[in-house]
Structure 1
Amino acid sequence: MAALGSFLMLCTCISGLFHVEATSDTLSSLDSSFCHGGLEVIYPELDVDECLIIPKSRKLREKVSTVWKAPQIYFSGAHKKKMYTLVMVDPDAPSRTNPTSAYWRHWLVVDIQGDALKKGQIQGTSLADYRPPTPPHKSGFHRYQFMLFEQPPDAPVSLTGQEKSSRGKWDLQAFITRFDLGEPVATLQFLTQNYKD
């Protein structure tokens, strides 16, 4: 068992996984209080397990916007036999001071198997394929929020024709209410801005 732990630690070091620590002087209290429940979002060089601002260092903002594909999602609190819905939105589109297109839907996956979530995998049905965070130039910081909901049993979750036609101006609360998703079991967010700013 110790050998396995050492091997995993070595793999992590070699892959250059960058764990970013959030501090009280980087986030407002409102932004830092959003995260709860133990959700983890894992990009190739960035492990997000608490609310944070993505730093410019190592070109992380550019990579999250232009290079990396959908992250791994890990939730240790998942119940093996339950199904989950994952939502990723930008409530600050096109800017935090003028969010006229909020909520912008970046990713929506339903019918996620609980046992897969415990392993850091997404096995479900994609209703909106992953779109990376791409905040417009000079629009300031955007919050990218991940919300994980436990799906009620035998309740198929889908998008209306109108919802499918546009990712912007999504009424997230109406979606949550329509499928009786309730409060999210876990939430996480990171803030980033256009990598050229």
Structure 2
Amino acid sequence: MKLLVAVVLVAGLVSIAAWGGEAVARDEYMGICLFEKLSGQDHKFCRGDLEVFYPELGDVGCTYIPKCNQYRKRISKEWSSPKIKYPQADKNKKYVLIMVDPDAPNRANPKFRFWRHWVVTDIKGRDLRAGNLKGHVLTDYGRPTPPSRSGYHRYQFQLYEQPAHEAISLNPGEEASLGSWPMERFIEQFRLGSPVASTQFLTQHHSD
């Protein structure tokens, strides 16, 4: 996986980003911007080279979203769904993408886990390889919006191979609420098995 690396820049550099490349930025207060990789168990969640691209930031997989340039505010209030790319996708298969927050309302007491942010089925492998996500949307993309003073939240992306001829849907109860989603039951019900790839980024409320 092409990860954002820790980058420290002097003030005055212009923010740039390249598809699949490193992102650099200027901190408006400190004169520097640090892209920090996840570590420990958070890092271990990232497997299989699943790539998640936001404007200016590039691939945010396995990183903390930095506060500089109002990135945390912009990811919560401005930017639409990220581009998803999985270069290892089988062109002849279909996939299911799930994005959840397991830390609602906070990581210490996640009583509303999993908060469902995005579910897309029937994604063709050739589209995933090209970073052109198309499919049947079960849950529209919801921007990461961690509550104030709730600490860092993990925003997790999991990609599954979709069993052939399997019609996947949410039941009325699931459609009625995004929080406390029984994701494991959903995965078991539709025989999705283990994810072929997964990644996550961490962010917190932009004012914290």
TM-score tier by shorter-chain length is 0.7 to 0.9
How high is the TM-score relative to the length of structure 2? 0.83
The equivalences for 1:117-196 within 5 A come to 117-196=128-207
Give aligned-pair identity as a percent: 49
Q: Does 1:111 align with 2:115?
A: no
Shift of 1:28: 3.9
1:30 to 24, 27, 41: 41
SS at match of 1:118: helix
Query: Partner of 1:19 in structure 2?
Result: 23
Counting matched residue pairs gives: 181
Shift of 1:167: 0.5
2:111 to 91, 100, 112: 100
User: Do the aligned residues in 2 keep the contact of 1:52 with 1:190 (CA within 8 Å)?
Assistant: yes
Query: Partner of 1:44 in structure 2?
Result: 55
SS at match of 2:84: strand
Q: Does 1:70 align with 2:81?
A: yes
Query: Counterpart of 1:170 in structure 2: which amino acid?
Result: W
User: Do the aligned residues in 1 keep the contact of 2:156 with 2:200 (CA within 8 Å)?
Assistant: yes
Q: C-alpha separation between the residues in 2 aligned to 1:15 and 1:118? A: 27
SS at match of 2:194: coil
More relative contact order, 1 or 2 (CA 8 Å, 6+ apart): 1
User: Do the aligned residues in 1 keep the contact of 2:101 with 2:155 (CA within 8 Å)?
Assistant: yes
Q: C-alpha separation between the residues in 1 aligned to 2:44 and 2:59? A: 15
Give the gaps of 5 or more residues in structure 1: 1-13
Root mean square deviation of aligned Cα = 1.5
Query: Counterpart of 2:171 in structure 1: which amino acid?
Result: T
Query: Partner of 1:6 in structure 2?
Result: none
Give the gaps of 5 or more residues in structure 2: 1-13, 25-34
How high is the TM-score relative to the length of structure 1? 0.88
Higher helix residue share: 1
